Amino acid sequence: MPFIRELVVILSLFFVGSAKARSIQHPTRDGLYTNRPIIGILAHDIDDDIIKKYGKSFIPASYVKYLESAGARVVPIRDNLTSDELKSLFLKINGVLFPGGDSDLWKSGYARTGAAIFDLAMEANDNGDVFPLWGTCLGFQLLHVRAAKGKDVLTKCSGENVSLPLNFTDGYKDSRMFRNAHNDVTQDMAKLGVTLNMHVNCVTVETYEKESSLSSFFKKLSTNMDKDDKVKFVSTVEGLKYPFYGTQWHPEKNQFEWTYEENINHSSEAVKVAQYVANFFVDQARLSKHRFSSREEESAALIYNYQPIKCFPDVTHYEQCYFF
């Protein structure tokens, strides 16, 4: 009888341990490693004294909702993590989104942390460890600055508060980003003003022609002219070697930002385009093998531990924000 009781205890511990393992390693379809992707969003520094009372850094809630709409969960990446803290977190998440904003691309915590993530992602992918990055607006520019090894590759342009159709480059349909897109999605992107631009700096086509560090790193998928019809800038890219993606435009705003001061297209076509892009990036994150070691560790890191607050119009121009 004592032997039977011991056997029952051993078997129960085995099955409990197996259940915990299954809570982290979930079955997927061929080629994917997780159906529970967790994506980090890099926070921005706060310099404004009025906003500092809320926290040291923040993330607009629209980026969180955007990723959640495609089936991902979000972990905030504070911009003051130590190197060891960042490396540890990197090994547990399945991708990172660099959001738009107005942080300095060389001196800020956003820039320093983004550069470290960029290097970690390159090293991981070089070793066969798939880890995708996405850059939106300022994040798009950050990807380019890092690809150019810190060089300033930005040009002043008039690209603020205008929703534009994309001018696709030759061969864009062969890209990872668009090869599986339905024709109605890409046709809407090419014919309708469904991509909101909110930038005063651009990465120009001319810069791509001069800077081999960019043309050898990224494939241009679309371009646009600025509002003054003077500057031709690159608006959508993907890495040639790495699963790094970027849009100078803001897909998340079509669904989740509502200020009247911005010329955001909220049409069904615009929402469909934004959802396609979100779905694509989250699917890229499903290729990552990274995972938290336990449910408890995972739960403690998620954005659910923070509450967004109403920001517009008194705090920021975003509808809601998370502060850290």
Which residues have a Cβ under 8 Å from the Cβ of 125 and sit 6 or more positions away?
131, 241, 242, 243
Q: Is residue 15 part of a domain?
A: no
CA distance linking residue 6 with residue 8, whole number of Å? 5
Say how many domains are in the chain: 1
The pLDDT of residue 310 is 96
Q: Is residue 28 part of a domain?
A: no
CA distance linking residue 26 with residue 30, whole number of Å? 12
Q: Is residue 297 part of a domain?
A: yes
Residue 91, φ and ψ in degrees, nearest 5: -75, -5
The pLDDT of residue 16 is 41
Helix (H) or strand (E) holding 266: none
Q: Is residue 13 part of a domain?
A: no
Q: Which of 44, 137, 199, 290 is catalytic?
A: 137
Q: Is residue 27 part of a domain?
A: no
Q: Report pLDDT digits (tens) over 100-129.
A: 999 999 999 999 999 999 999 999 999 999
Q: Is residue 230 part of a domain?
A: yes
Taking 50 as the pLDDT cut, the residues of the chain under it are 2-4, 6-27
pTM over 0.85: yes
Residue 83, φ and ψ in degrees, nearest 5: -60, -40
Give me the long-range contacts of 229-234 (CB less than 8 A, separation at least 24): 230/157, 230/158, 231/155, 231/157, 231/158, 231/159, 231/202, 231/204, 232/204, 232/205, 232/206, 233/155, 233/157, 233/159, 233/202, 233/203, 233/204, 233/205, 234/202, 234/203, 234/204, 234/205, 234/208
Q: Would you state the structure tokens that stand for residue 74, as one six-digit string?
A: 């979000």
Dihedral sign (CA 312, 318, 321, 324): negative
Q: Would you state the structure tokens that stand for residue 232, as one six-digit string?
A: 């031709």
Q: Is residue 255 part of a domain?
A: yes
Identify whether 250 is a catalytic site residue. yes
Q: Which of 157, 250, 311, 321 is catalytic?
A: 250
Rg (the chain; Cα; Å): 21
Identify whether 321 is a catalytic site residue. no
- Tell me the residue range of the domain where 205 lies: 38-323
What is the domain-level CATH number for residue 255? 3.40.50.880
Q: If you ran DSSP here, which 8-state letter would residue 169 be given? A: P
